[in-house]
Structure 1
Amino acid sequence: MLNDFWETAPAGYKYAVFAGMGLTFIGIVIIVLGAVTTTPAMTYIGLPLIGVGLLAHMASLGLRGRNIRKEMKAAEKRSAEKEALKHRKA
């Protein structure tokens, strides 16, 4: 059980992480382009993209936490069952 989390992560987590990174990157690029071309409208277009990207990252953290809690609960259950079998044999 020494796998890297990314190998065992659910697909929803991976999609949320990449969507968050992509939207944040696009928002930053639009803001930089707006600043270079002195177009304030582009800055206002880029800000919501960054916000949605950050929300996607927060959602991915929630998905990851839920998956880890589920795996920990399953591991505790297996451990308890193993202990119960050990005590029955003794």
Structure 2
Amino acid sequence: MLNEFWATASTAYKTLVFSAMGLIAVGIILTIIGNTSHNQSLALTSLFVIGLGLVLHVVGMVVRGQQVRKGLKK
């Protein structure tokens, strides 16, 4: 089971991972745009977007950890 990590992952986990990566990427782009245009509010907003992406990433790790534990008990 552990050798095929992505193949055995649930749809919920995959959705969380891709959402987290997307939010982090959007946050980085907003940071670059905000800092190059000297838009302080946009740069600050980007930090919240990155933070939300990191929170989703942690939630995804918890979901996957629970799935692995359930699989090992069987």
User: What range describes the TM-score normalised by the shorter chain of this pair?
Assistant: over 0.9
SS in 2 for 1:6: coil
Aligned counterpart, 1:38:
38
Map 1:1-90 → 2, pairs under 5 A: 1=1, 3-74=3-74
Mark the structure with the bigger radius of gyration: 1
Mapped partners of 1:38, 1:49: distance in 2: 18
Alignment CA distance shift 1:2-1:27 (3 Å): closer
SS in 1 for 2:6: helix
**Greater relative contact order (Cα 8 A, min sep 6): structure 1 or 2?**
2
TM-score (normalizing by structure 1): 0.78
Deviation, 1:44, is 1.2
CA RMSD of superposed structures (Å): 1.2
- Offset from partner CA, 1:65-88 (integer Å, 9 cap, x none): 0000000000xxxxxxxxxxxxxx
Mapped partners of 1:71, 1:49: distance in 2: 33
Gaps of 5+ in 2: none
Mapped partners of 2:41, 2:2: distance in 1: 49
Gaps of 5+ in 1: 75-90
SS in 2 for 1:38: coil
Count of residues in Structure 1 that have an aligned counterpart in Structure 2: 74
